[in-house]
Amino acid sequence: MNLLEFDYPKPTGLDVAFSTYDTIPELLKEAEKRKFLDGHTPYNTLFCDLFYKGGKVVFKKNIDKDKQQEIWKYVRCFISSWSPKHEHKEAICAMLMSEILEPELAKE
């Protein structure tokens, strides 16, 4: 699956404030296939750091900016949604972040 070509939901302002995104089965299956469901990658660690502590991310330089923003908006809404299981959020977000972000938070 090419994650840069996937048709992600387009978040509205309401989605950003009160997300109710459910798990997309295709993304969960891909995350499991890529070993993000096990929770032992640098991007699972990045997810946990962002989820529990916050921080500033660093985008990869070789990815189209519009595509980065599309995926990042989806990730931000999915992280804050109460609907999915936490381990599904972590796996899918870690996988998507591996496509668009560097594996560590910005050093202040």
Instruction: Encode pLDDT of 70-104 as tens digits.
Output: 999 999 999 988 889 999 999 999 999 999 999 98
Residues 40-68: pLDDT tens digits? Answer: 999 999 999 998 988 999 999 999 999 99
Report pLDDT for 82.
87
Q: Are 99 and 38 in contact (CB under 8 A)?
A: no
Mention every residue, 6+ apart, whose C-beta is less than 8 A from residue 67: 4, 100
Global confidence as pTM? 0.91
